[in-house]
């Protein structure tokens, strides 16, 4: 109890510390807005990742002196003072003839980054150990991506790199009190789906339970971040990431500490806010909370209109998030069991049991036969079915009967020629139909295997491997997302072009191929 109280008391200090690290918008006021709104770069993420050639104060002095002079050209000024970043895979050319496994093996080195030296004035938050970036425009580590990348690293026996990535996240938790969305200053206001406990568990599978005890402190600190403010909540109230349900149980939501446009998507947010009836600050907060979920964007977060303008992420208690926190509570209980601390072990087991009961009560829709998010403001479940509904199977929260119903729904509605579609809505958003994503395929397969729905799990795996293999044979690339409805077309939607690399695709693909003893070519021939 004393440890938990201390961590909660430290939370405001944690926030003040990371607020001291200035973002590009804070470093270059006025210039930032002109560059982003003027589309000096087609992708707003380019400027926020650029490396300044001089210190920010010198650049801002030069801008103030030159911006109103005749013939001033903003693009020329930016080119003179900033070095734009390059994509992680720009120079890499794949060897299709070598096959999928060789491609993935090579990509680990292409996507690997050494420990950051620090000292440079940029948005990058230095990390003390090597890490893997996703690829394409994503030139930094990403929190939930990394777990699925680690699945592949484990298959390749790269335990030293897994441990280094874990130690980076432990470092970030120690510095900020949570794992940021990514190691950029403009990401320091939010986290992402809390997969840290699964990462620790992944390493423990190979190196023993002492790993769990070794990372107990960062696990506790992450839990304190997600539960901060819970003890003072009244029923029907929310504060940051916590919501007190009618039953008195505390569940969680996604949240971002800022109510400003995302700097990496500044034009998109400013433009979209004008179409919303919400106050701009509310709209930006909901957009940022969706970014914290990793599902940016999906009709999952919208009202019945299905439009981005209606985004209401902070009104929703997400089923996947609460399953992940259930796993964190179970993991913490196990760390105390290993230490012989029965009282604390029992405390976290009780927390997990209470959360499980609440997930079943609020997120299970008996009529739909599906686990759905809960709108705590309206006091009702969402009507939108998404692949987030497989998470209770992945973490053994569902009953056997519920798992059978979810499996039936997956087979009937979500299963497509290339795998599982993310939602049943075709909206133009990238986390909707017809798109599919590697992490959700894996969580569905894991959940189905847990409940002995092996035939469906194998079918999903086969179709996913086939699609990945066929696209690789045609393009030499593994992609961020795929169109599973029409497998001859690229996935679309989103705020940026389709990215290749791609960390979590590589990791899940290698894990699934090994689990089901497939090679890409064999799967493609067999299941075409």
pLDDT tens-place string over residues 375-385? 999 999 999 99
pLDDT at 11 (0 to 100) = 43
- Report d(CA 285, CA 229) in Å as an integer: 18
pLDDT at 88 (0 to 100) = 63
In the numeric block, the tokens 């680990």 are attached to 108
- Does residue 223 form part of some domain? no
- Does residue 483 form part of some domain? yes
Residue pair 496/134 in contact (Cβ under 8 Å)? The answer is no
pLDDT at 165 (0 to 100) = 98
pLDDT at 117 (0 to 100) = 77
Percent of the chain that is helix, strand, coil (3-state, to 5): 55, 10, 35
Which parts of the chain have pLDDT scores under 70? 1-20, 87-91, 118-119, 520-528
pLDDT at 91 (0 to 100) = 67
Q: Annotated catalytic residue: which of 296, 373, 432, 495? A: 296
pLDDT at 86 (0 to 100) = 83
Spatial CB neighbours of 284, under 8 Å, sequence gap ≥ 6: 258, 259, 260, 261, 262, 269, 273
Q: Annotated catalytic residue: which of 264, 337, 480, 500? A: 480
- Does residue 79 form part of some domain? no
Q: How many domains in the chain?
A: 1
- Does residue 449 form part of some domain? yes
- Report d(CA 101, CA 353) in Å as an integer: 41
- Report d(CA 455, CA 443) in Å as an integer: 16
Instruction: Give the rounded percent of residues in the chain with a pLDDT score beyond 70.
Output: 93
In the numeric block, the tokens 């939501």 are attached to 253
- Does residue 492 form part of some domain? yes
Segment 422-467, tens digit of pLDDT: 999 999 999 999 999 999 999 999 999 999 999 999 999 999 999 9
3-state secondary structure of 106: helix
Burial classification of residue 189, based on how many CB atoms lie within 10 Å of its CB (0-12 exposed, 13-18 middle, 19 or more buried): buried
Residue-wise over 88-122: b if at least 16 C-beta within 10 A, else e?
bbeebebeeeebbbebbbebbebbebeebeeeeeb
User: Is position 480 annotated as part of the catalytic site?
Assistant: yes
- Does residue 39 form part of some domain? no
Predicted model pTM: 0.94
pLDDT at 7 (0 to 100) = 41
| Enclosing domain of residue 469 | 397-528
User: Is position 43 annotated as part of the catalytic site?
Assistant: no
**What is the CA 489 to chain-centroid distance, rounded?**
25
- Beta-strand runs (E) in 403-495: 415-416, 419-420, 435-436, 482-483
- Report d(CA 250, CA 242) in Å as an integer: 7
- Does residue 419 form part of some domain? yes
- Does residue 163 form part of some domain? no
């Amino acid at each position: 109890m004393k440890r938990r109280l201390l961590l909660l008391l430290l939370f405001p200090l944690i926030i003040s510390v990371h607020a001291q690290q200035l973002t590009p918008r804070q470093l270059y006021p006025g210039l930032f807005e002109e560059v982003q709104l003027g589309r000096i770069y087609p992708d707003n993420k380019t400027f926020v990742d650029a490396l300044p050639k001089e210190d920010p104060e010198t650049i801002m002095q030069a801008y103030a002196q030159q911006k109103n002079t005749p013939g001033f050209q903003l693009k020329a000024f930016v080119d003179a003072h900033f070095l734009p970043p390059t994509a992680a895979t720009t120079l890499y050319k794949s060897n299709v003839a070598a096959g999928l496994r060789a491609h993935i093996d090579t990509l680990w080195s292409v996507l690997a980054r050494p420990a950051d030296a620090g000292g440079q004035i940029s948005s990058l938050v230095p990390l003390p150990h090597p890490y893997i970036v996703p690829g394409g425009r994503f030139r930094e580590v990403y929190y939930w991506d990394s777990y699925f990348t680690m699945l592949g690293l484990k298959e390749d026996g790269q335990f030293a790199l897994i441990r280094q990535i874990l130690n980076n996240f432990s470092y970030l938790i120690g510095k900020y009190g949570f794992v940021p969305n990514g190691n950029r200053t403009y990401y320091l206001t939010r986290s992402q789906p809390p997969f840290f406990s699964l990462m620790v568990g992944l390493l423990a599978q190979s190196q023993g339970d002492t790993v769990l005890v070794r990372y107990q402190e960062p696990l506790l600190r992450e839990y304190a971040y997600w539960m901060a403010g819970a003890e003072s909540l009244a029923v029907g109230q929310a504060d940051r990431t916590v919501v007190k349900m009618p039953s008195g149980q505390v569940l969680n939501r996604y949240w971002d500490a800022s109510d400003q446009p995302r700097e990496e998507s500044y034009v998109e947010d400013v433009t979209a806010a004008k179409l919303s009836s919400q106050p701009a600050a509310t709209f930006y907060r909901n957009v940022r909370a969706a970014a914290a979920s990793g599902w940016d964007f999906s009709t999952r977060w919208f009202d019945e209109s299905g439009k981005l303008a209606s985004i209401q992420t902070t009104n929703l208690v997400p089923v996947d998030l609460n399953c992940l926190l259930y796993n964190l509570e179970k993991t913490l209980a196990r760390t105390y069991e290993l230490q012989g601390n029965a009282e604390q072990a029992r405390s976290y087991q009780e927390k997990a049991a209470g959360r499980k009961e609440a997930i079943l009560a609020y997120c299970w829709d008996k009529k739909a036969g599906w686990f759905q998010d809960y709108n705590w403001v309206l006091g009702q479940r969402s009507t939108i079915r998404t692949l987030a509904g497989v998470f209770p199977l992945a973490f053994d929260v569902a009953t056997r009967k519920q798992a059978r119903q979810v499996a039936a729904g997956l087979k009937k509605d979500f299963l497509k020629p290339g795998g599982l579609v993310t939602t049943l809505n075709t909206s133009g958003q990238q986390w909707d139909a017809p798109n599919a994503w590697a992490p959700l395929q894996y969580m569905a397969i894991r959940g189905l295997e847990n409940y002995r729905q092996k035939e469906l799990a194998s079918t999903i795996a086969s179709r996913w491997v086939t699609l990945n293999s066929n696209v690789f044979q045609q393009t030499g690339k593994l992609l961020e997302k795929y169109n599973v409805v029409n497998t001859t077309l690229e996935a679309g939607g989103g705020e940026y072009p389709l990215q290749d690399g791609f960390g979590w695709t590589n990791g899940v693909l290698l894990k699934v191929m090994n689990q089901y003893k497939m090679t890409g070519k064999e799967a493609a021939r067999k299941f075409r």
